[in-house]
Amino acid sequence: MMGEEKSIPGTLKKALRILEFVASGESACTLSEISSALDIPKPTVYRLINGLVLNGYILQDTNKRFQLGYKLLVLGGVVRQKSVIRQVALPFLKELQQLTNETVHLTVPDGKYGVYLEKLESSNAIRLWTTVGAKLPLTVGASMRAILAFLPEKKREEIIAEHNSKLTASTFNKSQLKKVMQETRKNHYTISFGEADSGAVALAAPVLDNQNTAVAAVSVAGPAGRFTQEKLAKWMPEVKRCADKIMKALFV
């Protein structure tokens, strides 16, 4: 079956692991660091990474350190432009952004992470710093948790059991996560106060398919100082309405 990991050839699997390791680092890494972290012999790493460099997927700097190449930026742009969810959601996201004048995200699941597929900026001088393509654990932040709450129960429990991310002092622990999962499933929305970014607030609602499983989440986010209780009460129904419009356009 095509989706099974065991069907991936060993060489390709190693090359993908190298690519993912380089992508996960905050700074460029050396061949030795890659070899040690992935437990792949240096000659193998050298051979595979040389192919990735030649094809533009990885860049090598003058200090012989490796970082992601621009080819991935090009491919990421193609994926984003051709995404059916993004194309369907964009008009509704624009409506929500114009209504709130805050940053609006469309987030999609990617394994144990959520990825920002679209971002519409606020016109305010002080904005939330996020980038399209950035990933966060599904256990951290409103848009990520809106997805996690509506994944199949077994997968949801596995992700919560492995949760050890502590991005800020406000990041939930496992016990808090389990409680907020119940609330999110009941209310079909969730709110984050500084979990991923201190001083930021986000409201999010899931986009569900016909099996009640999250395929995306819509969120409005910005600096806490602008997110008064009055605005939270006013905007949450709009966020839920936006997610519902996207769901109906995709699946009804």
58-71 pLDDT, tens digit each = 988 888 899 888 77
Q: Does residue 109 contact residue 146 with C-beta atoms inside 8 Å?
A: no
Specify the pLDDT at position 167.
72
- State percent of the chain over pLDDT 90: 46
Specify the pLDDT at position 1.
40
Q: Looking at this protein, which amino acid is placed at residue 183?
A: E
In this prediction, residues 77-86 reach a mean pLDDT of: 70
Q: Does residue 32 contact residue 43 with C-beta atoms inside 8 Å?
A: no
Specify the pLDDT at position 2.
42
**Cβ neighbourhood burial of 156 (10 Å; 0-12, 13-18, 19+):** buried
Specify the pLDDT at position 4.
47
3-state helix, strand, coil in the chain (%, to 5): 50, 20, 30
Specify the pLDDT at position 208.
94
Does the domain at residues 5-74 carry the CATH identifier 1.10.10.10?
yes
Q: Does residue 182 contact residue 108 with C-beta atoms inside 8 Å?
A: no
pLDDT band at 44 (very low <50, low <70, confident <90, very high): very high
In this prediction, residues 139-147 reach a mean pLDDT of: 92
Task: Note the maximum CA span of the chain.
Answer: 60
Between 50 and 171, the more confident residue is 50
Q: Which of 83-87, 136-140, 225-229 has the lowest mean pLDDT?
A: 83-87
Task: Give CATH 3.30.450.40 domain extents, the chain.
Answer: 83-251
Within 8 A by CB and 6+ apart from 45, the residues are 18, 31, 34, 35, 38
With 50 as the cut, is the pLDDT of residue 3 above it? no
In this prediction, residues 105-130 reach a mean pLDDT of: 86
With 90 as the cut, is the pLDDT of residue 136 above it? no
Residue 118 CA to residue 87 CA, distance in Å, equals 10
pLDDT band at 30 (very low <50, low <70, confident <90, very high): very high
Task: Give CATH 1.10.10.10 domain extents, the chain.
Answer: 5-74
CATH topology of domain 83-251: Beta-Lactamase (3.30.450)
Would you call 75 helix, strand, or coil by DSSP? helix
Indicate the average pLDDT of the chain: 87
